[in-house]
Amino acid sequence: MPDPSGISFPSFPDDAAAEPDPQAPRYAFYVAPEPGSPLSEFGATWLGRDCASGEARTQPAVDGLSAERLAELTRSARGYGFHATIKPPFYLRDGRSEAELVDAFAAFARSRAAFEVQLGLRTLGGFLALMMAPPDHRMAALAADTVRDLDPFRALPSEAELERRRASKLSAQQETLLQQWGYPYVMGEFRFHMTLSARLPDGPERDAMVAALTPRAEAVTAEPFHIDALALFKQPHKGADFVQVRRFGFGG
């Protein structure tokens, strides 16, 4: 039956239609601060988990929010770890190995040159996050190149995964990106962000989060963020937290 939006949703080949093994790992390429750095400690403490060591952290007290409510509002971000997504999570394509992925990623990182960006606390679609101020074309190029150059390792998404993504009412461009790259928010739709909360409507909870985050964020964003590495993250199996496996320094 034709979709009422007028957008065509073609099916992928039969070998991509099944749901992946829930025990199979997923991988992602992130910008993440150097473990132990002030920015890394800020993210680990706020979210309640150090994604490099796996250590649980005690979250700060936030006036107007219970500890349980703060944990709930940061649960999703905590599971992914403090980061900015460069190549979104994916399953390995059949015939590819983690060792091959690591080798290719290391070679890719060696081809990149370091640069600096300025971060600030912002809102993206209702989520609180650290974002670039102003945006930087070098970050957009890094993300686009990572998505494209490492894509031979990505398994095609299942039909169920595509439908889950389409539930967000994608634009025509986002649908095209979903079909080509398995994720709708890459290339021209990419927005660098280091997520710090769930989606929050205007109101007391949002105000409490902003009041607590503002001085903490200002303390770690006063100086530019030096982008000199990408990190490989791994989710061992469905429902598990993502952990930082290894950082790959830029060679240029």
DSSP the chain: ---TT----PPPPGGGSSPPPTTS-EEEEEE-PPTTSHHHHHHHHHHTB-TTT--B-PPPPBTTB-HHHHHHHTHHHHHH-S-EEEEEEEEBPTT--HHHHHHHHHHHHHT---EEE-EEEEEETTEEEEEESS--HHHHHHHHHHHHHTGGGBPPPPHHHHHHHHTT---HHHHHHHHHHS-SSSGGG----EE-SS---SSHHHHHHHHHHHHHHHHHHSSPEEE-EEEEEEE-STTSPPEEEEEEE---
**Residue 50 domain-assigned (yes or no):** yes
Residue carrying the six token digits 């240029």: 252
User: Would you state the pLDDT for residue 182?
Assistant: 87
**Residue 18 domain-assigned (yes or no):** no
CATH of the domain at 56: 3.90.1140
Q: Which residues of the chain have pLDDT under 50?
A: 1-17
| Owning domain of residue 67 | 25-166+196-249
Tokens for 196?
Answer: 């710090």
Tokens for 86?
Answer: 């460069």
Each residue's pLDDT tens digit, 96-153? 999 999 999 999 999 999 999 999 999 988 899 999 988 899 999 999 999 999 999 9
**Residue 174 domain-assigned (yes or no):** no
User: Would you state the pLDDT for residue 5?
Assistant: 39
- Strands 127-132, 194-195: pairing is antiparallel
**Residue 43 domain-assigned (yes or no):** yes
Average pLDDT, the chain: 89
**Residue 190 domain-assigned (yes or no):** no
* Domain count of the fold of the chain: 1
Of residues 91, 123, 79, the one with CA closest to residue 16:
91
**Residue 177 domain-assigned (yes or no):** no
